[in-house]
Amino acid sequence: MGEDGAQQPLSPWRCIGVWGRPEPWGWAHDRHHAHAPRSSGPCHSTTSASPSPAGSHPCNPRDFGHGSLVCECSATYCDTLDPVTLPPAGNFLMYESSKAGKRLERSEGRVQRSLTAPGIEYNLVRVPMASCDFSVRLYTYADVRGDFALKHFNLTEEDTKMKIPILQQAQAMSRKPVLLYASPWTSPTWMKTNGAMTGRGTLKGKPGDKYHKTWANYFIKFLDEYAKHNLTFWAVTSGNEPTAGEIIFYPFQCLGFSPEHQRDFIAHDLGPALANSSHKGIQLIMLDDQRVMLPYWAEVVLKDPVAASYINGIGIHWYLDFLAPIDLTLSMTHHLFPNYYLLSTEASAGSYFWEPRVILGGWDRGSKYSHSILTNLNNYVTGWTDWNLALDLEGGPNWSKNYVDSPIIIDSSKDLFYKQPMFYHMGHFSKFLPEGSQRVGLATEQKCYQCDLEYSAFLRPDGAAVVVVLNRTPMDISFVISDPGIGFIEAKAPADSVQTYLWMRQKGDPGRPPQGPQAQGEEKGAPLH
Evaluate the omega torsion of the peptide bond into residue 53 and state whether it is cis, within 30 degrees of 0.
Answer: no
Q: Which of 72, 346, 454, 522 is catalytic?
A: 346
Give kind and range of the element (H or E) at residue 225. Answer: helix 210-227
Q: Which of 3, 105, 241, 522 is catalytic?
A: 241
The counts of H helices and E strands in the chain are 11, 23
Strand, helix or coil at 306? helix
93 φ, ψ (degrees, to nearest 5): -110, 150
Strand, helix or coil at 295? coil
241 among known catalytic residues: yes
CA distance 136 to 402: 11
225 among known catalytic residues: no
CA distance 140 to 184: 9
Pairing outcome for strands 313-317 and 515-519: unpaired
Angle of helix 363-377 versus helix 421-430 axis, rounded to 10: 30
Strands (E) across 338-420 are located at 341-346, 381-385, 390-392, 408-411, 416-419
**If you ran DSSP here, which 8-state letter would residue 166 be given?**
H
Strand, helix or coil at 271? helix
Q: Mention every residue, 6+ apart, whose C-beta is less than 8 A from residue 199.
A: 248, 249, 250, 254
Residues taking part in catalysis = 241, 346
